[in-house]
Amino acid sequence: MMAHIGIVGAGLAGAGAAYALRDTDHDVTILEKSRGVGGRAATRRKDGCRYDHGANYVKLPDDRTGDLVRDLGEDGLVDIAEPVWTFGADGEIAPGDGADEHKYTWEAGITQFAKRLLAETDAEVRKTTRAESIARGKAAGRDGGADTWTVTDTDGAEHGPFDALLLTPPAPQTADLLAATEWSGEEGEDALAALRTAVDGVEFRTVRTLVLHYPFELDVPWYGLVDVDKAHEIGWLSREECKRGHVPDGESLLIVQMSPEWSTEHYDDPLDEAADAAATRAADLVGDDRLTDPDWVDDQGWRYALPNEGLVGDTDDGSTAGADGDGVADAVATAREAGLFPAGDWVAGRGRVAAALWNGIDAGESIAERL
Ligand SMILES: Cc1cc2nc3c(=O)[nH]c(=O)nc-3n(C[C@H](O)[C@H](O)[C@H](O)COP(=O)(O)OP(=O)(O)OC[C@H]3O[C@@H](n4cnc5c(N)ncnc54)[C@H](O)[C@@H]3O)c2cc1C
């Protein structure tokens, strides 16, 4: 039977789920609030430059990710050759251990990942469509009234009914959607309340990215610098010109990701002030006074940049988050049974492009099995 599947969010989790469903008969609709796809794996263009202002690159941590990326086409794939070096609280730069894994993006930017996945599917992507509320109900005239999900967007338009619905916005935004979800009946209300509490408990940290452009090249051996002590006001700094096709010769474009503490405190500072602060600190860190004076700047605030933990108690360091792992697992299972699937990097417990992708693919495969 052909089923209708709704996906909220066209980041890597949403695109991965649509990709997993590509060979089924199911009809897939993606609702995406932005004008483009890719979510936090985002790319922008300005003054002849292209830059990835969210995720910087994707690592291919296992064969399946490498195989998938190559299956999507090797043309335009960029392997960043220069290494990542480190610095600490004192701002002292040191070479890395030389064991960097390969880091990939595309000449046309990291948004290519989601674009290429979606190009393999028949999914319809409804852009500039922000999901606001969700309701479970009987679809009239379908299989004697099967239970389905309907999504209403912020313009009041209805989408669906869907036999299964995947929610991929960062946890705080998914929690808002669950708070605006109607699922009547005792089982539904209980599962919804438990799921919402669990999703609410997944914290994200904030990162403000400053983009600094210079009309000259930097003569340094590294692609990126990472703060290993997590004590500096800059968390990460990298050179977009190390990515083929991103920056014209003779220019430099720095991506400066400020620390979560700095980013939270200065989230709403005007761009010129925030860029000034980032440029001053970048000049100091790199040891090059010219960096205090970029010829143009840009920025992006990522309020929900990276998850601190996972939904079902998984954390990066293997410890258990949340008080009631079993209760959360039960609530997720009940919701999935009813066709409501949370997915994304925060469900996987790791703020990484590949983690989001495979979490979405797994959810898509579960939906295909279930329907
Ligand atoms: C600054 C920064 C640097 C990073 N660096 C790296 C890196 O170098 N390497 C790496 O692997 N990972 C990195 N990450 C993490 C990586 O970007 C994420 O883990 C991954 O992209 C998450 O994908 P996702 O599909 O789970 O979520 P998202 O990409 O956030 O996708 C969710 C989508 O849902 C949409 N949405 C939200 N609410 C609604 C709504 N109500 N209605 C409709 N649509 C909605 C959003 O617009 C978005 O497109 C970085 C992240 C940030 C922010």
Partners of residue 103 on adjacent β-strands:
59
Partners of residue 1 on adjacent β-strands:
none
- The per-residue pLDDT of the chain, averaged, comes to 93
Per residue in 127-161, pLDDT (tens digit) is: 999 999 999 987 655 555 568 999 999 999 999 99
Q: Is 339 in the pocket of ligand 1 (CB under 6 A)?
A: no
Tokens of 113: 């990942």
Arithmetic mean of pLDDT, 270-285 = 98
Contact criterion met (CB below 8 Å) for 341 and 367: yes
Q: Is 130 in the pocket of ligand 1 (CB under 6 A)?
A: yes
Give yes or no for residue 181 having a pLDDT over 90. yes
Distance 172 CA to ligand 1 centre (A): 13
Distance 359 CA to ligand 1 centre (A): 13
Give the ligand 1 atom nearest the CA of 53: 1
Q: Is 12 in the pocket of ligand 1 (CB under 6 A)?
A: yes
Q: Is 110 in the pocket of ligand 1 (CB under 6 A)?
A: no
Under the banding of pLDDT at 50, 70 and 90, the label for residue 323 is: very low
Under the banding of pLDDT at 50, 70 and 90, the label for residue 97 is: confident
Distance 302 CA to ligand 1 centre (A): 9
Partners of residue 131 on adjacent β-strands:
153
H helix count then E strand count, the chain: 10, 21
Per residue in 100-127, pLDDT (tens digit) is: 789 999 999 999 999 999 999 999 999 9
Q: Is 206 in the pocket of ligand 1 (CB under 6 A)?
A: no
Q: Is 13 in the pocket of ligand 1 (CB under 6 A)?
A: yes
Q: Give 178: exposed, middle or buried? Use CB within 10 Å, 0-12, 13-18, 19+.
A: buried
Query: Tell me, what's the pLDDT at 145?
Result: 56
Could you tell me the domains of the chain? 4-38+115-201+311-370 (3.50.50.60), 57-109+204-307 (3.90.660.10)
Query: Tell me, what's the pLDDT at 237?
Result: 98
Arithmetic mean of pLDDT, 55-84 = 95
Query: Tell me, what's the pLDDT at 325?
Result: 61
Contact criterion met (CB below 8 Å) for 104 and 58: yes
**Cα–Cα distance measured from residue 334 to residue 326, given in angstroms and rounded to the nearest whole number:** 12
Contact criterion met (CB below 8 Å) for 255 and 237: yes
Give yes or no for residue 258 having a pLDDT over 70. yes
Measured by CA distance, the residue closest to atom 20 of ligand 1 is 353
Measured by CA distance, the residue closest to atom 27 of ligand 1 is 11
Measured by CA distance, the residue closest to atom 29 of ligand 1 is 39
Pocket test for ligand 1, best of 34, 40, 106, 158 (most atoms within 8 A of CB): 40
Per residue in 155-180, pLDDT (tens digit) is: 999 999 999 999 999 999 999 999 99
